[in-house]
Amino acid sequence: YDYNKAAHSDAEEDPCHRTYCGRGRQCVLMAESGRAECVCQEKCRPSFVPVCGSDGRFYENHCEVYRTACLERRRIYVVHSKDCFFKGQSGHSELRL
């Protein structure tokens, strides 16, 4: 069995292999058309690396910032400010330093 050939042919057959969706988004194959389409990321890997978003909210990691931006259809980026760590937004965790 030629694993290199199998991996290569899988990559050629999977349209998502060639599709870059950007931060906070993921590629999915549409069942009815078989085409690649970018959608908001369903979930992020669990990792606690706290960051502040430009919306003043606290996020558990970079992925959550960009996922939220996608879901809310607005631009949110990571800011390097400690202000939001002390605000305590409703519905979001707080970090006490």
Question: How high does pLDDT run on average in the chain?
Answer: 80
Domains of the chain, with CATH numbers?
25-85 (3.30.60.30)
pLDDT number for residue 2: 46
Which of 19-23, 73-77, 78-82 has the lowest average pLDDT?
78-82
Percentage of the chain modeled with pLDDT above 90:
54
- What residues have CB less than 8 Å from 26, skipping those under 6 apart? 38, 39, 40, 41, 42
What is the per-residue pLDDT across 42-71, written as a single tens digit (0 to 9) for each? 999 999 999 999 998 999 999 999 999 999
pTM to 2 decimal places? 0.68
Task: Give the chain's count of helices (H) and strands (E).
Answer: 3, 5
